[in-house]
Amino acid sequence: MANDVGAGDGTGMGGSEMRLGQDGSVPAELSHAGAVTDKAIEYMLGEKLPPLAIASALLGGSLGLLARTMDQPSMLRMLQNAMDSVRAGELHPSHDRTAGRAAG
């Protein structure tokens, strides 16, 4: 996925560009959104909601937000990047602290 965050051409939501910094740093907005999402996941796990229900709700909400804020070709590129990451083994429970805690 190179240094792009989001669609394969570097475009983010609303036409703004989100790229990792030269040092691999994550944009502040992405870091903040990730932290809020992590807290929401922790809360839902604490409420004993099934992980699949949590993931499905977050994915559905994410897809709805993307559909409202970007064009279809950009959305498809972003989803293709996600599929490529799964196929490459980049997304695995051992890489995610929350999933690791939930499984253990």
Q: Number of folded domains in the chain?
A: 1
- The per-residue pLDDT for 7 is 41
Is the pLDDT at 74 greater than 90? The verdict is yes
Residue 68 lies in a domain: yes
- Rounded mean pLDDT, 25-36: 90
Bridge partners (DSSP) listed for residue 19: 4
Helix (H, G, I), strand (E, B) or coil at 51: helix
Helix (H, G, I), strand (E, B) or coil at 17: strand
pLDDT tens digits along 46-57: 999 999 999 999
Q: Which domain holds residue 55?
A: 26-103
Burial zone of 103 (CB within 10 Å; 0-12 exposed, 13-18 middle, 19+ buried)? exposed
Cα separations (Å) of 6 from 25, 44, 51, 56, 60?
Answer: 15, 25, 24, 19, 17
Side-chain-side CA neighbours of residue 2 (13 Å) = 9
Residue 14 lies in a domain: no
pTM more than 0.75: no
Q: Which residue has the higher pLDDT, 51 or 91?
A: 51
Confidence of residue 92 (pLDDT cuts 50, 70, 90): confident
**Average confidence score pLDDT of the chain:** 80
Helix (H, G, I), strand (E, B) or coil at 11: strand
Residue 19 lies in a domain: no
